[in-house]
A and B are shown apart, each in its own frame.
Chain A
Amino acid sequence: MIEDLSAFIATVLAVSLTTERIVAVVKTAFPVWMAAERKTESAEVDLLGDRWRRLRVHLVAFVVAWVASASLANFQFLSGSVKLGTAGAEIPVFFLAILSMGGSAFWSSVISYASAAKDIQNQARASGSLAFQMQARAAGRVPTDSGLAAGGGQTAPGLAEALTKITSLTQPPLKAMGSRMASHA
């Protein structure tokens, strides 16, 4: 079972990487048709206006994934199956292509989750830094290194005041009026 799963993951990974690389080459070769995202005036992705470009990318990805999958089954595009490991498990070429065509989207998601994990670490570091600053102030000390770490070493005169407020706030009702981050608050 584990062997089948390992072989399955390795096969999808191999076809997906192949698809990703070839789609990247196609995007580089035809940037206007394949790579240039349509954006709205506010620089957001225009989901409606960009749909034909996305469809073209999906189509190229599927064709590449299909060819790559079929190459593992003697180029039997419709009736072929790819053998996984030595236990006899197989996956039809068509379904392998569908699974693997995620290509760039799949890898973007992997990178996105890795990036989010890094951001969470940074958040934890900043929270620790802010907590240290609050404790130091409560003890009558002037925090230096930790406060600067949270602030990125910048010396905006308003930074210390803002960090002090951030560490002392409790969650307000959603519709509470005004902000407690004002200098006079």
Chain B
Amino acid sequence: MPDPVIATVEIPPGPGSLSVELSSPLTPQALAGVLWRYSADETPEGQAGAFTPALNSVPIGALSSIRNKFFLIEGTVLHHNDPQPVPYQVVVSIVRDGHALHTEVPPEQGTGQIKDQNMPFVYRFQIKEAV
């Protein structure tokens, strides 16, 4: 089985706290999930935060403190008991000072259709300092 995709997010050096934001800008679904953090050698470091429909942003700290660390989002698109499948699209953004420095649709089930079951998605990424 091939290794799962791990996105490399290159962040230009600079001050300010980074945040991970989950959104569904093109479709109306609400999202929830957990953000896990790992060291550069993939050792688990615990939960960085949780996403709920009321809280779509998790602060992950300044670039200097999370350089080369890995993150994993285990998320889900919440269903609304739709009678027919409707499309959804999840967008993950890495944000600093209100600016999106990286935006991506998770390759693992970041888009699809949802009916009456929550739809899970996974997004793995590593923060690197841009040179």
Contacts and interface: CB of A to CB of B under 8 A. Distances in A.
Interface in A139-173: 149-154, 156-159, 161-163, 165-166, 169, 171-173
Interface in B37-92: 38, 42, 44, 46-47, 49-50, 52-55, 57-59, 70, 72, 74-76, 78-81
B54 A159 contact: no
Contact of B118 (A47, A126, A158): A158
Interface in B84-104: 96-104
A47 B26 CA distance: 25
Contacts of A166: 32-34, 50, 52
A150 B54 contact: yes
Nearest to A148: B54
A179 B76 CA distance: 9
Interface string B8-24: 00001011110100000
Contacts, number: 159
B101 A44 contact: yes
A45 B101 contact: yes
Given A112-B97, A159-B32, A179 B53 contact: no
Given A119-B58, A162-B76, A169-B74, A42 B103 contact: yes
Given A171-B36, A174-B72, A177-B4, A123 B49 contact: yes
A154 B130 CA distance: 39
Interface of A: 37, 42-45, 47, 105, 108-109, 111-113, 115-116, 119-120, 122-123, 126-127, 130, 149-154, 156-159, 161-163, 165-166, 169, 171-175, 177-185
Given A127-B49, A162-B118, 15 more contacts: A47-B130, A109-B97, A116-B59, A120-B59, A156-B53, A157-B78, A158-B117, A161-B118, A166-B50, A172-B36, A173-B42, A174-B38, A179-B121, A182-B117, A184-B117
